[in-house]
């Protein structure tokens, strides 16, 4: 009798855990926006661990280009992630908001990525970048 109760209890706890794990799929939600104030925002970010929201320049080819801003991310879901742009972005410019990891560098809490480097580089679950592309207004 106790084995049945234990099995039922474990099953009851496993289902929510699997659902929570499924909800933790890394993602970025963002829309085209006015960046004339020097800030670009993602409305929601899901990060599998502490890391960085990195803003890359991009174009119609959709390849990540130079970094124009970054902000720290906490593990889990974060709403309204704002990134201060470090150089001018003009109306019509395309930006890629991407989740990067906090690993491989020399110092924790210091963004050390340069284009193509492995330090604090982009995460790639299933080989795909976690990002959203927007056009500056």
Q: How confident is the model at residue 12 (pLDDT cuts 50, 70, 90)?
A: very low
Summarize the confidence of residues 15-33 as an average pLDDT. 72
Assess whether pLDDT exceeds 90 at residue 26: yes
CB atoms within 10 A of CB 117: 11
* Residue 113, pLDDT score: 96
Architecture of domain 25-135: Sandwich (2.60)
Summarize the confidence of residues 61-80 as an average pLDDT. 97
Q: How confident is the model at residue 23 (pLDDT cuts 50, 70, 90)?
A: low
Residue 46 in 3-state DSSP?
strand
Residue ranges covered by each domain of the chain:
25-135
């Amino acid at each position: 009798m106790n084995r049945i109760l234990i099995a039922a209890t474990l099953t009851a706890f496993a289902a929510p855990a699997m659902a929570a794990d499924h909800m933790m799929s890394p993602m970025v939600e963002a829309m085209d926006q006015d960046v004339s104030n020097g800030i670009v925002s993602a409305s929601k970010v899901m990060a599998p661990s502490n890391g960085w929201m990195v803003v890359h320049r991009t174009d119609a080819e959709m390849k990540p280009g130079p970094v124009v801003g970054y902000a720290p991310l906490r593990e889990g879901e974060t709403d309204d992630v704002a990134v201060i742009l470090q150089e001018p972005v003009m109306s019509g410019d395309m930006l890629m908001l991407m989740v990067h990891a906090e690993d491989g560098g020399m110092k924790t809490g210091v963004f050390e990525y340069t284009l193509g480097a492995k330090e604090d580089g982009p995460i790639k679950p299933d080989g795909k970048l976690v990002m959203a592309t927007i056009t500056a207004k």
